[in-house]
Chains A and B, each alone.
Chain A
Amino acid sequence: MTAAPRWRWLFVVPGLAAVAYGAYGLWTSLSSEALTSWAVWMLGGALLHDLVVAPVWIGLGWLAARTLPRPARAPVVVGAATSAAVALVAAPFVLGFGGDEGDTSFLPRDYGLTLLVVVVVVLAVSAVWAAVRVQRARDSA
């Protein structure tokens, strides 16, 4: 083992100080009910990723690896990841739970329909790309 780079301490020391300062701030500014809700959101977010989001994505990958011809996989991964990212970020706007009464400038579009169109376009493009790659691979084989 070579020695770890010394510059690591330039990150570790201020990093730990910032974590401690943030923890102190949370502890002193949030009531105990608010802290409970905060803890639920902190742990909930990590668990939601580790136990739901990641397994679903890896499960889809497993499925794709078994069902799709090899040249089609990369385009499908790009298409699926792109539509998932766009949908995830737009999800609160599609749900539309927030906003002031009478605010016509907030969420001025039909987000459900728009998202559907965006996802269909992205997936269609990746499907065409996949088909082209499969065909090319067959031609050259």
Chain B
Amino acid sequence: MTRALDRVLGARLPEPPDALRRGPFREDAFPSPLHTERRASRVGVWLGAGFVVCFLTGLISHLVQAPPPWFVWPAGPVWLYRVTQGTHVMVGLALVPLLLVKLWTVYPGLFRWPPARTPAALVGRLSILVLVASAVFMLATGLVNISQWYPFGFSFKVAHYWTGWVAVGAVLTHVGAMAPQIRRGLARRGSPAATAGLEPSEAEELLAADEAAEDGAVSRRAFVVTAAVATGAVAITQWGQTISPLARVSVLGPRIPGVGPQGLPVNQTAITAGVTESAVDPAFRLVVEGPTPLSLSLADLQAFPQHTERLPIACVEGWSANAEWTGPRLRDVLEAAGHPRGTVVHVESIQTGGSYRVSTVSKPHSASEKTLLALRLNGEELDVDHGYPVRLIAPNRPGAMQTKWLGRIAPGAAGVGS
């Protein structure tokens, strides 16, 4: 069986005529001595680690928003989601230049001659296509998502999530498939391990390229400086939307933590949600379902004991900002409606447009003393874009689940979304 498979995969494919070997397919088409497995492996370590970090933090965000029964996301520390999601977006942004540098190092491989000697080589090249395509896809869709632009015919959330599995799987497979090259590439230059497994002529060629890379016009050092400076420049110009002390130098970031109504950024506005009139209607009531159903006016909510908490809004798009929120505790209101402490509820917005109309408040957040039905923000009545008259604010949750313009609270889970 294995031998038969080997015979099929290892069969020699007919070679194309040499007359076709032109342009980038020529042997000396890419003269730079930096197109080596050594450079590719070393950039690859950073790139691969970055993709794994993005995958894990992305997985956390996915699980928090669509929790399977075994998954419990705690209500504290209050900054945890802010850190995981901020890391997700910051690392993803920094991977843009690193991916390009990495692809540059291996670009001549695209024009290998003959293109594939065996069916096995053909499969290998197709797997590289999956790797490159999924990696570019993840960074490209992530970037256009934080610019809130959706020029495609699929759901960003669904496609970014599932393609994330493909991308991280392709990265892992690639590391395994390239194990000998990586081992050589990461070994000290000139050491026996750096040429392990190579024919003498190949080893000589590799050593010559590494030698030439030391004092070429664009040397190994210039290459490392280029990768580091380009990545650092993206970090400095973007990361301030997450790390607020950097905000003043992050001149190209899409958000500034202190900028927005009442000093806090907004993602979904009252206009998009279609609540500009309904939110300020004096007939507004917050309905709380339960053994003792409640229908609360703004004055009723103000009559509950008021508490103030300093909690961040941590958007899935990577920006986050702290604010001081004031209002009754969710658990006090639930208790008044006859619910025991820690009852899982879902909150619904009165919004008719936009997204994220509903979110589920799981047990830790429902029981937390920090979870508020916020009426005030930074000492003022909530701006309508922040969810006037009342919004949910809970510790350690994505901004998309801090539902605004609340109209109804009812027991039971209802996911997150429309």
A residues bordering B, Cβ < 8 Å?
1-2, 4-5, 7-23, 25-26, 29-30, 33-38, 41-43, 45-46, 48-50, 53-54, 57-58, 61, 65, 70, 73-74, 77-78, 81-82, 84-86, 88-90, 92-93, 95-109, 111, 114-115, 118, 122
Contacts and interface: CB of A to CB of B under 8 A. Distances in A.
A22 B133 contact: no
A30 B176 contact: no
Contacts of A106: 148, 254-255, 265-267
B269 A103 contact: yes
A22 B169 contact: yes
B378 interface: no
Contacts, number: 253
B153 interface: yes
A105 B168 CA distance: 33
A98 B163 contact: no
Per CB-CB distance, the 4 closest pairs between chain A and chain B, nearest first, are A18-B169, A22-B165, A15-B172, A98-B148
B311 interface: no
A99 B148 contact: yes
A77 B225 CA distance: 10
Contacts of B159: 26, 30, 34, 38
B70 interface: no
24 contacts: A8-B179, A11-B176, A16-B169, A19-B166, A20-B169, A22-B167, A34-B153, A34-B155, A37-B154, A38-B159, A45-B136, A46-B132, A50-B107, A54-B103, A77-B226, A82-B226, A93-B254, A97-B147, A97-B149, A102-B270, A104-B266, A105-B256, A106-B266, A118-B237
B337 interface: no
Interface in B371-398: 385
Contact of B179 (A5, A13, A22, A41): A5
In this complex, the interface size class of chain B, counting residues with CB under 8 Å from chain A, is: 35 or more
Main secondary structure of the interface of B (DSSP, over half): helix
Contact of A37 (B152, B166, B170): B152
Nearest to B149: A98
Interface of B: 30, 32, 93, 96-97, 100-101, 103-104, 107, 110, 129-130, 132-134, 136-137, 140-141, 143-144, 146-155, 158-159, 161-177, 179-180, 183, 196-197, 217-219, 222, 225-226, 229-231, 233-234, 237-238, 251-252, 254-256, 259-261, 264-272, 354, 385
Contacts of B103: 49, 54
Contacts of A102: 269-272, 385
A17 B169 contact: yes
A92 B147 contact: yes
Contacts of B255: 105-106, 108
A30 B222 contact: no
B31 to A, nearest CB: 9
B1 to A, nearest CB: 19
B169 A46 contact: no
A44 B356 CA distance: 30
A117 to B, nearest CB: 8
Nearest to B177: A12
A127 B32 CA distance: 22
A30 B254 contact: no
Nearest to A24: B162
A45 B140 CA distance: 8
B375 to A, nearest CB: 21
B173 to A, nearest CB: 3
A15 B170 contact: yes
Given A7-B179, A38-B159, A41-B137, A77 B218 contact: yes
Nearest to B236: A86
A100 B267 contact: yes
Given A34-B159, A49-B132, A89 B272 contact: no
B38 to A, nearest CB: 17
B171 A54 contact: no
B233 A86 contact: yes
Q: Which of B143, B168, B218 gathers most chain A CB within 10 Å?
A: B218
Nearest to B273: A100
Nearest to B159: A38
Contacts of B177: 8, 12
A13 B175 CA distance: 11
B179 A4 contact: yes
Contact of A46 (B133, B162, B237): B133
A45 B99 CA distance: 12
B136 A105 contact: no
A85 B97 contact: yes
Contacts of A109: 251-252, 256
Contact of A107 (B158, B254, B272): B254
A19 B170 contact: yes
